[in-house]
Amino acid sequence: MKQTKALPVLFAVMFLVMVGFGIIIPVLPFYAEELGASPTQLGLLMATYSLMQFIFAPMWGRLSDRIGRKPVIMIGILGLSISFFMLAVSTQLWMLFAARIVGGILSSANMPTVMAYVADITSEEDRGKGMGIIGAATGLGFIFGPAIGGVFTNINIHTPFYISGVLSLLTLFFVFFVLKESLEPSQSKDAKKEKAPWTTAIRGPLSMLYFLQLFVSLSLSGLEATFAYYAAKRAGLDSVTLGYIFMIMGLASAVVQGLMGKLTKRFGEARIIQAGILISATGFGLILLIQDFTTAAIFLAIFGIGNGVIRPSVSSLLTKKSKAGYGMATGYLSSFDSLGRIFGPVLGGLLYSIAVGLPYISGILLSLFAFIIFRVYITRSRSELSSN
């Protein structure tokens, strides 16, 4: 039975989760520096979290297929809360790493399980709308979280971590009392029979969708890692101005994700994915031309619109085409996204050190690779349909 009334609840859950996560973003680098972290160690601290998500997201997705979505979502939120409190009381660098490892392992349950929940409660016709709502909640959370964190950092450097921990606990209680289980017992029994090793994601019929997400994530995280330096050098923009620019980009992305239902019904996921990739590539090209705040805001908004529609559409398409459980499919998608976030900043920084515009030229090339991969996927899918 479809529970589309649960979508606003899921929106609130993911918004609160991402606000809590976003609150610590502005303060964590300075906190780590206070505890003696070098730039290399700070990079490792960030990468550790993504590495844990890469490893464990498929496991949580598959577990949610077996025992239900609600308990796994609660595990993920509880893990976030524990990691935030661990960060708050850390007095040595190794404690920060321990907190990030715990947070990465447990919080990797959130995104794939929430997306699987959406797949449970929506029809195929409304799947894109549901995934878009989750994407919008995530984007808005990332906008408001860092802004809140920046304000409370002025009070005490530990305060944002405590606020995030308490907010996550409140979200946990909200899920416990308000969210209903979406997975029916018959679906859970079927999922226990399913096995999908990593070779399925790498070589299976849907592998191209996973690699598409990898290339998109690589290019996005490369931009995020280098744009502050680029904008300062190219247009003289400071950190406050950059915050506004990323907020505008996030809002543009959230707005278009909120329209995913109408867009999917009119054009279908395949066309939206292709359009999103091409618009993202255009955005990368325009970034090379920024001159001031206005051009930077407009060009990043264009990029945000293109990038924002890709993952919800890929998630929707995956859950429609996957023969395994929804959690398994979305778990692997989250894993490939995390893999891109591990290597993207390193690649972006390396390219930037060679030439300041290279991360964005590589973004264009990665977008074109993703486009080609998706075109091959479409061609193969049509061939399989015609042969059947």
- Residue 331, token pair as written in the block: 């778990």
Q: How far is CA 301 from CA 263, 266, 274, 280, 283, in A?
A: 18, 23, 18, 10, 8
170 CB-near residues (< 8 Å, 6+ apart): 16
76 CB-near residues (< 8 Å, 6+ apart): 60, 106, 107, 108, 109, 110, 113
Provide the angle, in degrees to the nearest 10, between the axes of the packed helices 326-354 and 358-387: 150
pTM across the whole model: 0.88
Q: Spell 200-237 as b/e; 16+ CB within 10 A means b.
A: bbeebebbbbbbbbbbbbbbbbbbebbbbebbeebbeb
Categorize the per-residue pLDDT at 33 as very low, low, confident or very high, splitting at 50, 70 and 90: confident
CA pair distance 337, 10, nearest whole angstrom? 21
CA pair distance 40, 31, nearest whole angstrom? 15
For residue 386, what pLDDT is reported? 60
Distance of CA 191 to the CA centre of its chain: 25
Q: What is the pLDDT of residues 152-207, one digit of tens each?
A: 777 778 888 999 999 999 999 999 999 999 887 655 555 555 555 556 666 777 88
Dihedral-angle region of residue 276 (phi above 0 means left; psi in -120 to 50 means alpha; beta otherwise): alpha
Per-residue DSSP letters for 322-343?
-SS-HHHHHHHHHHHHHHHHHH
Between vectors from CA 181 to CA 179 and to CA 182, what angle results, nearest 5°? 110
Per-chain mean pLDDT for the chain: 88
**Which amino acid, residue 187?**
Q
For residue 22, what pLDDT is reported? 85
CA pair distance 202, 208, nearest whole angstrom? 8
| Residue range 17-23: mean pLDDT, rounded | 88
CA pair distance 283, 306, nearest whole angstrom? 8
For residue 24, what pLDDT is reported? 84
User: Hey, what domains does the chain have and what are their CATH numbers?
Assistant: 6-179+187-387 (1.20.1250.20)
Tokens 């025992």 belong to 67
Q: Is the pLDDT of residue 1 over 50?
A: no
CA pair distance 346, 5, nearest whole angstrom? 42
For residue 194, what pLDDT is reported? 55
For the CA atoms of 133, 167, 76, 260, the dihedral, rounded to the nearest 10 degrees, stands at 10
CA pair distance 138, 129, nearest whole angstrom? 14
- Residue 127, token pair as written in the block: 């799947």
> Cβ atoms within 10 A of the Cβ of 2, count?
11
Q: Where are the alpha helices (DSSP H) in the chain?
A: 6-23, 28-34, 39-67, 69-88, 93-107, 110-121, 127-153, 159-178, 185-191, 198-203, 207-235, 239-258, 260-267, 269-287, 293-308, 310-321, 326-354, 358-387
For residue 188, what pLDDT is reported? 54
Q: What is the pLDDT of residues 273-331, one digit of tens each?
A: 999 999 999 999 999 999 999 999 999 999 999 999 999 999 999 999 887 789 988 99
For residue 360, what pLDDT is reported? 96
| Residue range 122-130: mean pLDDT, rounded | 90
- Residue 49, token pair as written in the block: 């979290």
Q: What is the pLDDT of residues 66-117, one digit of tens each?
A: 999 999 999 999 999 999 999 999 999 999 999 999 999 999 999 999 999 9
Share of the chain above pLDDT 90, in %: 63
CA pair distance 140, 281, nearest whole angstrom? 23
DSSP 204: S
Q: How far is CA 150 from CA 21, 49, 144, 155, 366, in A?
A: 13, 21, 10, 10, 33
